[in-house]
């Protein structure tokens, strides 16, 4: 589990998934399961827009909006948790992807990086 500001953020899994019926991607759909625990004294926001994913060349990959399920987003109360998914349209590669988390609502310049190797 990775520590973020006053919460915990973990990547529970990552896999390639089939695209939605009427939303063709340019590459492959990478779905990432995320879990967040708020250990602070106040509510904290977590949103899919706080995350970016990059390929092995450092190129930013696009979010995928084809599913009816929404990506993780919400305010988490003190002592509570939330889990959800991130969806990306990525180029296919043999190397791991780099996922960065940079929370918008935190004044400190916090950035956490994860290596994502889909199964």
Predicted confidence at residue 7, as pLDDT, reads 60
Separation of alpha carbons 78 and 58, rounded Å: 35
Ramachandran angles phi, psi of 78, nearest 5°: -50, 130
Q: Model-level pTM? A: 0.89
pLDDT averages per 10-residue partition of the chain, 119 residues: 55 96 95 92 89 97 96 92 97 96 71 90
Predicted confidence at residue 4, as pLDDT, reads 41
What residue ranges define each of the domains in the chain, with the CATH number in brackets? 2-116 (2.60.40.1240)
Ramachandran angles phi, psi of 48, nearest 5°: -60, -25
């Amino acid at each position: 589990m990775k520590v973020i500001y006053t919460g915990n953020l973990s990547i529970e899994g990552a896999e390639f998934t089939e695209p939605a019926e009427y939303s063709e991607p340019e590459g492959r759909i990478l779905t990432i399961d995320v879990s967040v625990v708020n250990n602070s004294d106040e509510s904290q926001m977590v949103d899919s827009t706080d995350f970016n994913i990059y390929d092995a060349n450092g190129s930013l990959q696009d979010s995928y909006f084809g599913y009816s399920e929404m990506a993780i987003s919400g305010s988490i109360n003190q002592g509570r948790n939330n889990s959800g998914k991130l969806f990306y349209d990525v180029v296919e590669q043999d190397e791991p992807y780099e996922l960065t988390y940079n929370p918008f609502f935190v004044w400190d310049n916090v950035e956490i990086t994860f290596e994502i190797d889909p199964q």
